[in-house]
Amino acid sequence: MAELLTGLLTTSRYKRSQGRIARQTTFLALVALVAIGAWRMSDIAETNAGRYVWPLAALAAGSFLAFRVVNLPRFADFLISVEAEMNKVSWPSRDELYRASLVVILVIFLLVAILFAYDLVLKILIGKLLGAGSGGPVP
């Protein structure tokens, strides 16, 4: 806990040249969450101070905390390793992505057709079984 508090209060950047993309993305996502919260805070406020001052103060404090969080040594090392692993991924080409997406879409439509056929057959069979004894159609 002491490491967390000292990490949040320092202004230095931990391993600043490593894991830049993962850190920037995480920072922007955290700031976006804080901004949504500040915007919602301004929507429910009744005074001008509550509508402008407090949401801006919350946004500034949240942005500073987000910056500090992505520079905590343990979390920064995690983000650095995430970026290193993402660099090892072999991403598909546009043609491979198109073909794979087409296969997935076709299989989904095939499964929908099969399930529809099963549903229709079972509805007819159950309708005949239950409809013969009651004298009326099954809803």
Domain boundaries, the chain: 2-88
Q: What is the mean pLDDT of the chain?
A: 86
What token pair was written down for 62?
Answer: 């949240």
Q: How far apart are CA 21 and CA 29, in angstroms?
A: 12
Task: State the average pLDDT over residues 28-39.
Answer: 94
* Whether pLDDT at 3 is above 80: no
Instruction: Give the pLDDT band (50/70/90) at residue 124.
Output: very high
Instruction: Give the pLDDT band (50/70/90) at residue 119.
Output: very high
pTM above 0.85, yes or no: no
Contact 138, 127 (CB under 8 A): yes
